[in-house]
Amino acid sequence: MKASLLLTLRYLSFHRVQTSLLVAAISVTIFLPIAVEALVQRYDSALRLRARATPLVIGAKGNRFDVVLSALYFRTTPVETTTAGEARKIRESGLAQAIPIHTRYTARGFPLVGTTLDYFDFRRLSLRRGHLPRILGQAVLGAQVAQKLNLSPGDSLPSDPQNLYNLAAAYPLKLHIVGVLQETGSSDDDAVFIDVQTAWVIDGIGHGHQDLTANAKNTQRVEATAALPQYQEITRENLASFHRHGDPDTFPLTAILAIPQNTKSSTLLKARTHASETAQILVPTEVIGELMSVVLRIQRFLNANFVLVLFSTLLFLTLIGWLSQRMRHREFETMHRIGCHRSTVIRLLVTEWALIFLASSMLAGAGILLAVYLLPNLILGA
Amino acid sequence: MIHLQNLLFRRTDEFELTISDLRVNDGERVAIIGPSGSGKTTLIDLIAGILTPNKGDIVVAGKDLTRADETARRRFRIATIGLVFQRFELMDYLTVEENILLPFLINPAQPLTPEYRSRARDLAQSVGLGDQQHRRPDQLSHGERQRVAVCRALVSQPRLLIADEPTGNLDEETGRSLLDLILAQVDKTSATLLMVTHDPSLLANFDRTVDVRDLAAENTP
């Protein structure tokens, strides 16, 4: 066995380019179906876990998947917004606790989540450092955001500009980081939490008045040059000047997390919201279940595809094996003439293919682990 | 050493080799000649136990090959016979040392031992390949590859060395040096030599010449 292994290893390493190509081709054939299955399973369990922890989501009428994914995973793709008035009505009905979620903006690519302190209690989020936002302009970072951006309480983080070419649009808001959350392994780790009022400031609904003459030589005449700050900042000095215009009931929210008191409250809330012309009430487990049924249908199609790929790969491997044996006919004949039993030649070939499949499986396994570790974040963060 | 008697080997309707009686003594050097297709390679394959005759007897070194099964003939071949091929047939993915040790690497019944390794190194040293043992055939000159092939045939210290036209693809000078190498090694071990050749200039180095075409008649020294 040792001698067979030596001969096999020598042969494979001598033909390392051909061996590598073969290993790569087999690895991909193994990797694809298993990685897709593992990812779908992981995606499914991650989505359902968070969905089960969220009783009801209320959002504007429109794409229910977008509303639920935005409310649960803070997707910042534009969705029809509901209003703060809806949240007020739910609170006043006494049927459920209403937690606003406003996720239209990002800060250095991470979603900015405007909410209230109730959200942290609801998700049982605890602080690793600092404190929760107390005033406008303060932010708390999810654990991954703090780690990836290397930020901690005391640092600042500007919101990403919305439209570089629209001078009338709201400027980015310089956020003061006051806390970092403990890691939870959920999408909360990849979000920046601010008060919903702060989110409305970024929206341009609320604003303050900054003193542009503070550093000006001539306080009578201020020129709009690059020397002026290109962002808004809420400080203790200008905090009092921040105010909102318009009816608070019309202020936008991406969604509202509703936590009903009991089943009866839930039923009543559903009935009321169903009657609404502008809002829809969604049960996240149902929406995610529906989403996953589409994903699983696609997966079944992919599985059928993988079977065909597997079949054609097997045909190719058979062809390669047959051609290889023909090419090595003289080598095997020499071995036989020297005194090698035919079964030894077969053992050599079996060992070769076993090593190739072992290497392919290991490569595919490493790829699957990498995909399962990396891709869910890419998919859920999209 | 070798005794073939009343032998008939028929491969196809067109090819038939008949040998009434052929004897080769211990330590004898015999050149086998004959035109292409006359059965030279078939003859040495029969003596090596690679082929079996349709009828007749083959006794080599006291072993009746016609009554031995495939496994017994194979084991006998490894233990008793060394083979040198026309194109040397070295494994291009093995080193010089591993090529010399190939008979042991491919035979689980005769596993590689330190003694064989030492013998392979000594053989390589004796033919001037001492510092080339970790190189592969494609890194060697033609002459060096010939020497590796001879060392491989001799590593099991065979009592019979069979060479199938080893000089067939070589120029006269290189063919001569290869024959000298084979004869020197055969002399050292007192082995019997059977060599197929087409080159009449080499025949003087042999004790006897056997023409395959004459084997149907008695051919005994």
Pair A352, A302 in one domain? yes
- Does B183 lie at the interface with A, CB-CB under 8 angstroms? no
Structural domain includes residue A217: no
- Do A275 and A318 belong together in one domain? no
- Reduced to 3 states, what is the DSSP secondary structure of residue B106? coil
Contact (Cβ atoms closer than 8 angstroms) between residue A272 and residue A53: no
Q: Are residues A172 and A239 in the same domain?
A: yes
Do A102 and A29 share a domain, yes or no?
no
Residue A159 within any structural domain of the chain:
yes
Q: How far is B132 from chain A (nearest CA, A)?
A: 17
Domains annotated on chain B, with CATH: 28-52+70-211 (3.40.50.300)
Half-sphere exposure of A291 (CA within 13 A, CB side): 21
The beta-carbon neighbor of A337 closest among B83, B108, B112 is: B83
Q: What is the pLDDT of residue A222?
A: 60
Residues A162 and A37 in one domain: no
Give the separation between CA A371 and CA A31, rounded to whole angstroms. 10
User: By the CB < 8 Å criterion, does B92 face chain A?
Assistant: yes
Q: So what's the pLDDT on residue A193?
A: 96
A283, A316, A331: which is the final residue of a domain? A283
In a domain, A15, yes or no: yes
Tell me if residue B60 falls in helix, strand or coil: strand
Number of A to B CB contacts under 8 A, please give it. 56
Q: State how far residue B220 is from chain A, nearest Cα, in angstroms.
A: 27
The pLDDT assigned to A110 comes to 93
Please check whether residues A332 and A252 belong to one and the same domain.
no
Q: Which of A233, A266, A283 is the last residue of a domain?
A: A283
Strand partners, B209: B31
A195 lies in a domain?
A: yes
pLDDT for the residue B132: 86
Residue A114 has a pLDDT of: 94
Q: How far is B176 from chain A, CA to nearest CA, in Å?
A: 24
Considering only CB atoms, which chain A residues are within 8 Å of B50?
Answer: 336-337
* CA–CA distances in Å: residue A338 to residues A2, A269, B84, B109: 19, 87, 9, 14
Profile chain A (382 residues) by mean pLDDT over runs of 10 residues. 86 94 93 87 83 92 90 85 91 92 91 94 94 91 94 92 64 90 91 93 74 62 59 74 80 93 90 86 92 87 89 92 91 89 88 95 93 67 44
Are A345 and A8 a contacting pair, CB within 8 Å?
no
Q: What is the pLDDT of residue A382?
A: 40
Interface of A with B (CB under 8 A): 3, 6-7, 10-11, 13-15, 330-331, 334-341, 344
Structural domain includes residue A271: yes
Closest in B45, B74, B89 to A339, CB measured: B74
Partners of residue A7 in chain B, C-beta under 8 Å: 94, 105-106
Of the three residues A253, A283, A313, the one that is the final residue of a domain is A283
Q: Is A36 among the domain residues?
A: yes
pLDDT of residue B139: 92
Is B111 an interface residue toward A (CB < 8 Å)? yes
- On whether residue A218 sits in a domain, the answer given is no
Residues in chain A: 382
Please check whether residues A66 and A165 belong to one and the same domain: yes
Query: What is the C-alpha separation between B78 and A340, in angstroms, rounded?
Result: 9
The pLDDT value recorded for residue A163 is 66
User: Which residues, listed in sequence order, are joined to residue A141 by a DSSP beta bridge?
Assistant: A180, A192
- So what's the pLDDT on residue B93? 94
Contact B103/A at CB under 8 A? yes
One domain, residues A33 and A66: no
- Whether this model's ipTM surpasses 0.90 comes out as no
Residue A163 sits in the same domain as residue A255: yes
What confidence score (pLDDT) does residue A376 get?
60
pLDDT < 50 stretches in chain B:
221
* Positive/negative CA dihedral, A154, A159, A164, A168: negative
For residue A364, the enclosing domain spans 2-46+292-381
**Contact: A10, B98; criterion CB under 8 Å:** yes
CA angle at B70 for the pair B65 and B74, rounded to the nearest 5°: 80
CA distance A346 to chain B (A): 11
Is the residue at A137 inside a domain?
yes
Please report which helix (H) or strand (E) contains residue B18, including its range.
strand B16-24
Burial (CB < 10 A; 0-12, 13-18, 19+), residue A203, is: buried
A204 and A114 within one domain = yes
Verify that A102 and A173 share a domain, yes or no: yes
Q: Please name which of A361, A354, A352, A336 lies closest in space to residue A15, comparing C-alpha atoms.
A: A352
Q: Total structural domains in chain A?
A: 2
Residues A195 and A311 in one domain: no
Contact A192, A145 (CB under 8 A): yes
Are the Cβ atoms of B102 and A338 closer than 8 angstroms? Answer: yes
Q: How far apart are CA B76 and CA A199, in angstroms?
A: 90
Chain B residues closer than 8 Å to A331 by CB: 89, 91
- For B154, nearest residue in chain A (alpha carbons): A338
Residue B59 host element (H or E) = strand B55-60
- Token pair in block for residue A163: 């439209």
Chain A positions in Cβ-Cβ contact with residue B75 (cut-off 8 Å): 339
Query: For B71-90, b where at least 16 C-beta lie within 10 A, e where not — what string?
Result: eebbbbbbbbbbbbbbebbb
CB B156 within 8 A of CB B187: no
- Confirm or reject contact between B93 and chain A (CB < 8 A): yes
Smallest Cβ–Cβ distance between A3 and the set B50, B77, B112 belongs to B112
